[in-house]
Amino acid sequence: MKYSIYLIFLLAFVSCKKQLPEIKPTLITEKLPHDSDDPAIWINKNNPEKSIVFGTDKDEVNGGVYAFDLDGKIIKEKSITGISYPNNVDVEYDFALTDSTFTDILVFTEREKHQIRLFSIPDMKPLDNGGFKVFTDETNVEMKRPMGISLYKNPQNGSISAIVSRKKGPTKNYLYQYEFIADSIGVKSHLMRKFGNFSGEKEIEAIAIDDALGFVYFSDEGVGIRKYYANPAKGNNEISIFGGEYFKDDIEGIAIASYANDKGYIIVSNQQDHTFNFFNRSDNSFVKTLNLGTLETDGCDVVTHSLGKKYPNGLFVSMNDKQDFFFHNLDSLKLN
């Protein structure tokens, strides 16, 4: 009887899915060697058409963070390889190396070495002396393996910190937040706080931070999207958990499409449904579901700035479970 009920549900789901039209990608990138996972878009402010999409390729021995141009071609000289299972990646702008020297930065998790890596963009030089260890106070090795990461730039003082999740963690304080501090010797990583509830189901990987509004969102994959303040000074209390009823199974990658006057969308991968759910940025209410053609999407990213003629109003990038990434001209999503 249980099997029959499940079969009826599955057939109904498939029928519903077929009615959702596919928005085909503008292009599909070159394939990675192993296992694509998470993208991050870096905007070249001097020449937006030379912006770069970074994407992780998971492998325990020769994983990498690959750089793509806006035609989806791998930029070999900007890619980082020989990484031990890179998971998630993010970028941020104008990190202060000195009082007068600033650089854009790329950060990613290196799961099997229990550390995060920090590089400058676009010269791709390491700033971390080989890596910053994370979750060092844990005695359980499984709780030291970082997965998700997102960067937060405090609008008040310009400081930049990384919020990191892991493959396994406790029901309290699943996430750690680390500030990057530069001095005459180099860059250091400083633990700022531990926070974040976890249901105990599945895991927490995807994290996204809304710098302008000051919120961090992360996917508690089995139950919903959790929302907290990104600034530790505002406390560790959970603001809300939302959206769980709109997902088939795993709640995965998160991207934030930001527009003026606090408008925009929280875009979240409905992994096993092969679709994306859109929530209102201001009040987190459900807006719509789109089928963008990807399979089993882990990670996604979005920018709402013009990147030239091909992406005049922005770009949405999503991981596809065929060792590649999909690029969608943001106009095709009809967000405005």
Q: Mean per-residue pLDDT for 60-81? A: 98
Residue 3, pLDDT score:
46
pLDDT for res 226: 98
- pLDDT tier at 8 (50, 70, 90 boundaries)? very low
Q: CB 123: neighbour CB atoms within 10 A?
A: 9
Question: Of 187, 256, 175, 211, which Cα lies nearest the Cα of 93?
Answer: 211
> Which residues, including other chains, have CB under 8 Å from residue 308's CB and lie 6 or more apart?
48, 49, 70
- Grouping H, G, I as helix, E, B as strand and the rest as coil, residue 15 is helix
Owner of token pair 């508690």 = 220
Average pLDDT over the chain reads 94
SS (H, E, C) 88-145: EEEEEEEEECCCCCEEEEEEEEEHHHCEEEEEEECCCCECCCCCEECCCCCCCHHHHC
* Residue 2, pLDDT above cutoff 80: no
Residue (of 239, 202, 194) closest to 219 by Cα position: 202
* Rounded Cα distance, 53 and 75, in Å: 10
The alpha carbon of 269 is separated from its chain's Cα centroid by a whole number of angstroms, namely 11
Provide the CATH topology of domain 31-258.
Neuraminidase (2.120.10)
What angle is formed at CA 190 by the lines to CA 175 and CA 207, rounded to 5 degrees? 30
Question: What are the tens digits of pLDDT across the range 177-215?
Answer: 999 999 999 999 999 999 999 999 999 999 999 999 999
Q: What is the predicted pLDDT for the residue at 202?
A: 96
pLDDT band for 14, please (50, 70, 90 cuts): very low
The structural domains of the chain, with segments of one domain joined by +, span: 31-258
Residue-wise pLDDT tens digits, 301-331: 999 999 999 999 999 999 999 999 999 999 9
pLDDT tens, residue by residue, 100-127: 999 999 999 999 999 999 999 999 999 9
pLDDT at position 7, please? 47
Cβ-count burial 323-332 (b if 16+ within 10 Å, e if not): bbbbbbbbee
Q: Is the pLDDT of residue 4 over 80?
A: no
Would you state the structure tokens that stand for residue 37, as one six-digit string? 């996972």
Q: What is the CA radius of gyration of the chain?
A: 19
Strands (E), 243-323: 251-258, 264-270, 275-280, 286-290, 300-303, 315-320
Count other Cβ atoms within 10 Å, centred on residue 288: 12
Give backbone dihedrals phi and psi of 323, rounded to 5 degrees, phi first.
65, 30
Residue 336: the pLDDT is 75
